């Protein structure tokens, strides 16, 4: 299946109750960085948080007001709202160690 933003978006809208992780990924359309970030966050979530996460992917090109509300500067940014503390993972999430640390899945190596 060809990867499009739309399919990625709909695929990521998996809502699972009693999730331990509340995540918001802010991307900018279908740039290479956005696509990499979306794929990466899905992989990590599937591997480490199966069924325990709530992920929202937001295209700030379409919803610019949200960028202001959530203080987004850099893109892509993955905001880990829960569990506390709030953390912003900046970049395309290609550095897996940083991602796992940032998402409170693993201690820093």
- Any contact of residue 48 with other proteins (CB under 8 A)? no
* Inter-CA distances, 27 with 3, 7, 10, 38, 48, Å: 15, 15, 15, 8, 22
- Any contact of residue 53 with other proteins (CB under 8 A)? no
User: Helix, strand or coil for residue 68?
Assistant: helix
Over the range 53-63, which residues count as b (16 or more CB within 10 Å of their CB) and which as e?
bbbbbbbbeee
- Any contact of residue 61 with other proteins (CB under 8 A)? yes
Q: Using CB under 8 A, which of 36, 39, 50, 53 touches other proteins?
A: 36
> Is 16 exposed, middle or buried (CB count within 10 Å of its CB: 0-12, 13-18, 19+)?
middle
CB-facing half-sphere around the CA of 43: CA atoms within 13 A? 13
- Region near other proteins per CB under 8 A, out of 1-9, 14-22, 46-54, 84-92: 84-92
CB 47 → other proteins: shortest distance, Å?
16
CB 35 → other proteins: shortest distance, Å?
13
- Total binding residues for other proteins by CB under 8 A? 35
The residue ranges that bind other proteins (CB under 8 A) are 26, 28, 31, 33, 36-37, 60-61, 64-65, 67-68, 71-78, 85-95, 98-99, 101-102
């Amino acid at each position: 299946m060809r990867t499009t933003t739309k399919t990625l978006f709909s695929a990521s809208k998996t809502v699972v109750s009693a999730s331990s992780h509340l995540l918001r990924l802010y991307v900018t359309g279908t740039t290479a960085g956005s696509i990499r970030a979306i794929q990466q966050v899905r992989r990590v979530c599937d591997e480490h948080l199966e069924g325990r996460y709530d992920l929202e992917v937001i295209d700030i090109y379409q919803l610019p007001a949200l960028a202001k509300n959530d203080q987004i500067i850099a893109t892509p940014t993955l905001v880990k709202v829960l569990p506390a503390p709030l953390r912003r993972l900046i970049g395309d999430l290609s550095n897996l160690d940083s991602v796992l640390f940032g998402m409170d899945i693993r201690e820093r190596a």
